[in-house]
Amino acid sequence: MNKNKLFLVMISFSFWLSSSLYAQNYPNRAVKLIVTNPAGGSSDIMARTIAQKLSELWKQSVIVENKAGGGGTIGMVYAANQPADGYAILFGAQGPTTVTPLLSKVPYEMTRDFYPLSLVSTGPSVMLIQAGLAERNLQDFIALAKAKPNTLNFGSGGVGNAHHLSAELLNLASGIQTTHVPYKGGIAAANDLAAGQIQFMFAEVAPVMPLIKAGKLRPIAVASPKRIALLPEVPTFIESGFPGFISIVSWGLYLPTGVATPIIAQLQIDVRRVMTDPDLVKRFAELGFEAQYSSPDEYRQFLAAETIKYARIIKENRIKAE
């Protein structure tokens, strides 16, 4: 081995050794968990639950920073610009990480700026109809929509929102023609549905449970592989005659690109411990979500499949950003 090669080997070994020693002491100060949603919602509650469990494990503070605005873009840019030292972790929602980049040009690039650490949460969409309608199930509602094309309206929390795309997926799968009415938030859409201003919508389960229990909204199908604990009497789309109709919302943990491999390896171990903690799993289930853990490669595959699905929906329905 010549001197140049020996020098390179020694430099590489020194870098690996220093990174490994650094990872052994990780974390030795507070860690930031960046959330692209405002405080108080489901995303924030899940992020704070993860932060609490990581803090207990590490004996270090894990500080949740809510960087909302711009449909998640503000938080994404903020996270991308953090030092790549493992002390800033992004709790990324499906919208800004997967859907928004398909709809418009954003000031970040997922594959360039972020390392996908793990999928951490998934939750099904539930289809809700106006309680005053005579239709009691999905097949009856589709028959109504086919009999009255372009007269039924559905709401969502905004153009490109996961629940907007779920309804467009139903349009494609069933051949019905319905019209989207975007709102500034899913709760506003749910309230208008309860008031009879729109005819249906898709939503996360927990936020609309009070309206369901009050008899103001009727759930007719869940877009998950199996029935869910919060609505055990509601059939899946698959049971209702739509094989393969699955539409979930998801969240994951990301790092700014460039974090040292030994720190990533330590984070994988620690995130797995936290996401399989019985208390955390129970808390997520109470919110209507399923706690998850995946390897970075598994998460990349999940994101790739979701991107293909949503890109198709956006293209075939000619959806454009607001």
| Per-residue pLDDT tens over the stretch 79-88 | 999 999 999 9
Give the mean pLDDT of the chain.
Answer: 91
Residue found under tokens 């001197």: 3
Q: Which helix (H) or strand (E) holds 83?
A: none
Q: Supply the pLDDT for residue 1.
A: 55
Which of 310, 25, 15, 289 has its CA nearest to residue 167?
Answer: 310
Backbone angles phi, psi at 144, to 5 degrees: -65, -45
Q: State the DSSP string of 242-300.
A: -TT---EEEEEEEEETT--HHHHHHHHHHHHHHHT-HHHHHHHHHTT-EE----HHHHH
Higher per-residue confidence, 17 vs 204: 204
Q: Supply the pLDDT for residue 318.
A: 85
Instruction: Check whether 15 has a pLDDT greater than 70.
Output: no
CA distance 140 to 136: 7
Question: Counting beta carbons within 10 angstroms of the beta carbon of residue 140, is it exposed (0 to 12), middle (13 to 18) or buried (19 or more)?
Answer: middle
CA distance 66 to 190: 25
- pLDDT-derived band of residue 254, with 50, 70 and 90 as boundaries? very high
Instruction: Check whether 7 has a pLDDT greater than 90.
Output: no
- pLDDT-derived band of residue 140, with 50, 70 and 90 as boundaries? very high
Q: Supply the pLDDT for residue 153.
A: 96
Choosing among 3.30.1490.190, 3.40.190.150, 2.30.30.40, 3.20.20.70, the CATH entry for 3-123+249-316 is 3.40.190.150
Q: How many residues does the chain have?
A: 322
Over residues 123-141, mean pLDDT:
93
Instruction: Check whether 19 has a pLDDT greater than 70.
Output: no
Q: Supply the pLDDT for residue 2.
A: 60
Name the segment(s) of the chain with CATH classification 3.40.190.150: 3-123+249-316
Over residues 214-226, mean pLDDT:
95
CA distance 249 to 251: 7
Residue 236: DSSP 8-state: B
Q: Which helix (H) or strand (E) holds 161?
A: none
Instruction: Check whether 4 has a pLDDT greater than 80.
Output: no
Over residues 148-172, mean pLDDT:
91
Name the segment(s) of the chain with CATH classification 3.40.190.10: 126-222
β-bridge pairing 153-156 and 114-124: unpaired
| Per-residue pLDDT tens over the stretch 265-322 | 999 999 999 999 999 999 999 888 999 999 999 999 999 999 999 999 899 888 877 6
Q: Supply the pLDDT for residue 23.
A: 63
Instruction: Check whether 13 has a pLDDT greater than 70.
Output: no
Residue 211 corresponds to which tokens in the numbers above?
A: 């309206």
Over residues 228-235, mean pLDDT:
94
Q: Supply the pLDDT for residue 38.
A: 86
Q: Supply the pLDDT for residue 71.
A: 80
Question: Counting beta carbons within 10 angstroms of the beta carbon of residue 94, is it exposed (0 to 12), middle (13 to 18) or buried (19 or more)?
Answer: buried
**Which superfamily does 126-222 belong to?**
Periplasmic binding protein-like II (3.40.190.10)
Over residues 173-184, mean pLDDT:
93
Question: Counting beta carbons within 10 angstroms of the beta carbon of residue 301, is it exposed (0 to 12), middle (13 to 18) or buried (19 or more)?
Answer: middle
